[in-house]
Amino acid sequence: MCLFLLITEDTCGGTVGGGSGVVTSPGYPNNYGNQADCTWILLAEPGDTISVIFTDFQTEEKYDYLEVEGSEPPTVW
């Protein structure tokens, strides 16, 4: 299993590999700014499993979404 580490307060998106930890939005636990476009790429070796566990997740209806690519089948929330 491969988990990822990134704890950030002012960055929105990036590429992460190795370790374990937390990915957060800018300013968490406060709201992030309007027009935020955050794309996180989680890298793993072929055959590794990436586990994503949400402990606090909110979106603004009609504006925000979560898309997970690389899953079988692709998933959008």
> Tokens in use for 53?
């566990």
For the cut 60, the answer to whether the pLDDT of residue 9 exceeds it is no
Which of 38, 29, 36 minimizes the C-alpha distance to 57?
A: 29
Residue 15's H or E segment, with its range, is: strand 14-17
Tokens found for residue 23: 């990915």
* Cα angle 28, 34, 39; round to 5: 65
The pLDDT, as a whole number, for residue 4 is 44
Q: What is the pLDDT of residues 17-65, one digit of tens each?
A: 776 667 888 888 888 888 888 888 888 887 787 888 888 888 888 888 8
Place 68 in a pLDDT band, splitting at 50, 70 and 90. confident
Per-residue model confidence (pLDDT) at position 8? 45
